[in-house]
Structure 1
């Protein structure tokens, strides 16, 4: 037994030695492995936000979060790099796609710190795409593997931090909370939006309009949303956002096919049109069943549209009913009726006006505020400018 263990150690030594030799070669050959000489401490960082497979998520909340990070990076005076083959000083990784661990390994090869954004959890993967519930435990193991590749894990809420801090995720790196934020200079009340929205939808000036934004998923509450529209035929309901038809579950397909005529589905639209919808609507109805934050809710609050949401834990605990939003608790067959009743009360002005409070809360997570906290995260992981190797452009 003793001889066997010694032989195993001898077999491993050549591999270990080869690994050390490769690392020494990498230190010599690869450009930019060491801090730049003679640079000031306030010199801008080159922050890698790789495109890669992340482009597949551009219509999702993760895509919005990446765009917000780019804005925050530039607000700090740093440079955004999108090509991992260009010199960089720190990397943000956001997506649960197969290129993420490769990019993390690439950053480690260059000895660059990795900020791993934990947008996803097992809970918010469920009730999304066909077969999602069956593979949700595997998905959790996969994202846990990804999150363990970070020097720092960043998640958008205390609620999501609690989820990914459970033992089954096995995280060893520090976990920090940083909201995805909202651009309150862009998302803000707009004069004339009410009239323009109704003209665009072909409605009369007094028509009541309720909007929601997101992918067409069970998790996002679209099944209940369609039923609420059915119960309030005098109100026009508009859902902005789409899901690839090949990824729709059967119950969502049926809901979309049988939706009442007062439920409209314009699909994915640009940010300017979403802002018009928020500003011109009478209410924002967000019946999502699970979120790690919900960027669209912050956008709606920034535009001062009255909001009705499902009282899921992140909203029930983080913004209790009647503080920033009005809420309806629970699920099940009676939920659409209770939601429709409360939404009607909101539209009739029978509930408290929370618009100003919502706007002030959104200003608290404005991207400029987020940028300042992001700067402290760079300091925590030791991100610093790096020099190019002699004769190489850095």
Structure 2
């Protein structure tokens, strides 16, 4: 039995983010393989998983090296997905890339969720010379699965009519996640209810996002961070999942929506173009500025009117390929490849 260290420390700051969910998936995978999750860096451990770009991460990597324990570093972040996130992020993006690259280089091996993410961190600017493994963050398709009864439950919880049209998105409230375009599209469709789940510390929200949220039309709803059972009802009960993100290294919430059988509208960005192609797994929207918002409006209206093909079965299949059980098997292969085992 391998003792896998997931140090707490500053990681608790990422609890409500995609990285926090990725850590929970890793812990599930470790336990499903019959190994033990430990959280105390001063106790016994056989390998450390590092997932966050916080100041304590390099110290934890050095501590593991002093104890001659292998270090696996997860590369969830890139310079590209740091941009358009928090106040001052664009000015700090270059420095952030140098910082995370220095953390990634501390790993005996690096793990990143998609081939697209690997293509970014293999650039010379990151200077990574160790092995880079691709391992999806995964999705629990046993929990996130279609449920026809969720439609009425979602609308009842929100006090909406049973036949109300509902479009859902999930994520931190930031420009990169597409919230400005999302609010603009909602403004054009007052008869459709737009729900955005997830929130960001108000101290980090950029001024344009704060203004967009505070002046959003009445058909925009912001329930905040909710329990995963509530989120599952939102995916299953929505008429569409509208994910307008501009950059991702994977996108766990997208996998969850696909697993629940939600029709997905997504921005046409490189990571999804080949993996979840337009007209086969997702409905993609394109353009910039007002043209982009118009394409979102057209796609939502066409989807609600039944003028777009039903791709939900293909979406479910795409999610099943990345089920956490399969991810656990791949994690086990990484352990064996890296020679990670129990220490006495």
TM-score, normalised via structure 2 length: 0.99
Distance 2:298 2:217 in 1: 18
Structure with larger Rg: 1
Indicate the RMSD between aligned Cα atoms, in angstroms: 0.7
Pick the aligned partner of 1:380 from 316, 337, 343.
337
Pick the aligned partner of 2:175 from 214, 218, 221.
218
The equivalent of 1:304 in structure 2 is 261
Contact residue 113 and residue 382 of structure 1 kept, 8 A? no
Matches for 1:1-394 after TM superposition, within 5 Å: 44-387=1-344
1:159-179 per-position Cα deviation (integer Å, ceiling 9, x unaligned): 110000000100010111100
> By how many angstroms is 1:332 displaced?
2.1
> By how many angstroms is 1:110 displaced?
1.0
> By how many angstroms is 1:333 displaced?
2.7
Could you list the structure 1 runs, at least 4 aligned residues long, displaced by more than 3 angstroms after superposition: none
Q: How many equivalent residue pairs?
A: 344
Distance 1:123 1:251 in 2: 19
1:50-73 per-position Cα deviation (integer Å, ceiling 9, x unaligned): 111111000000000000000111
Gapped runs of 5+ residues in structure 1? 1-43, 388-394
TM-score, normalised via structure 1 length: 0.86
> By how many angstroms is 1:331 displaced?
2.3
Distance 2:332 2:4 in 1: 12
SS in 2 for 1:318: coil
Contact residue 287 and residue 295 of structure 2 kept, 8 A? no
SS in 1 for 2:111: strand
The equivalent of 1:32 in structure 2 is none
